[in-house]
Amino acid sequence: MPSRNEKRAASSRRSPSSSPPRIVEREREIEAFVAREYWTLHATRETPRGETFKADVVRIDGRPTDVDNGTLAEHHAETLRSLRPRVSSIATKTQKRSPAPPFTTSTLQQEASRKLGFSPKRTMSVAQRLYEGVDTPDGHVGLITYMRTDSVRVAAEALAAVRELIAATMAALLAGYRLRRQP
């Protein structure tokens, strides 16, 4: 019968994975990257009513701005200061923003450390107190759901129940709104 050490050594004889070629390829891409200086130009303009606004300069004489050094950026800035540039078009874009995913135990601890300077122990102590809740005139209320989890999956039954509750209580507000699906 092989000894304990021989069993461990056997695992090191596994066939190599396909990761090293990908890692080498990515490393070569990183080494081949050439950093390029990039400048953006902004202009503060005033409307006929006296309101000021900040605009991005995207074209000069009809050509896209491609400012790749400080000297050229300063030249364009001086030219813009001496002239009275006009706004030729205004583009308004809507951006879709998705909410941040729910916290797992580790992401909760990371954010509390980064934003509040909390240690993991302090973070979990505060989370435990929030979970246990507070006394209110309506009774004892927990302020968060269970905080120790490594998964953000929601059971299909729970998701269906929440959607029914929302539809029943908020039907007027959600008319025509499509709820996102959980992964």
Sorted by sequence, the CB contacts under 8 Å of residue 37 that are 6+ apart come out as 68, 69, 70
Place of tokens 């695992």: 11
What number of residues does the chain have? Answer: 183
Report phi then psi at 20, rounded to 5: -55, -40
Among residues 38, 131, 146, 177, the one annotated as catalytic is: 146
- Any catalytic annotation for residue 146? yes
Give every CB contact of residue 142 below 8 A, 6+ residues apart in sequence: 130, 131, 132, 133
Beta strand extents in 11-125 (DSSP E only) = 41-46, 52-57, 59-60, 63-64
DSSP class of residue 50?
Answer: S
Residue positions annotated with a catalytic role: 146
